[in-house]
Amino acid sequence: MLTAFVAVNIRFEAVEGGDMEYVEAVGLLRDAAAVFHYQNGNWGTGGRALFNMNPTDALDRLADQYEPVEVG
């Protein structure tokens, strides 16, 4: 199965009246690597994001689970 890590920026919003409503850090922009899988002719994701990582960091940290594929 092919896996792709894509650089994304994610921002959350607090739910009005919720526990995080007045937490200043809730709305901060966060860097992450979104995880996509190619299976049965389609790309998809389970909604997984690896926070505080770019795609290169994700590949380095998960080297025991993924093998890079050269595009050429």
Summarize pLDDT for 20-31 with one digit per residue, the tens.
Answer: 888 888 888 999
CA angle 9, 14, 20 (to 5 degrees): 115
What pLDDT does residue 46 have? Answer: 85
| Cα distance between the two ends of the chain | 19
Question: Would 12 be classed as within a structural domain?
Answer: yes
pTM reported for the whole predicted model: 0.76
Q: Which domain holds residue 15?
A: 2-61
33-40: average pLDDT: 95
In a domain, 21, yes or no: yes
Contact 32, 52 (CB under 8 A): yes
- Within a domain: residue 55? yes
> For residue 40, is it within any domain?
yes
- The contacts found for 59-63 with CB under 8 angstroms, 24 or more apart, are 59/5
As a whole number of angstroms, the distance between CA 34 and CA 49 comes to 4
User: Quick one: tokens of 32?
Assistant: 């992450």
Q: Please indicate, yes or no, if residue 69 is contained in any of the structural domains.
A: no
Q: In this model, does residue 49 exceed pLDDT 90?
A: yes
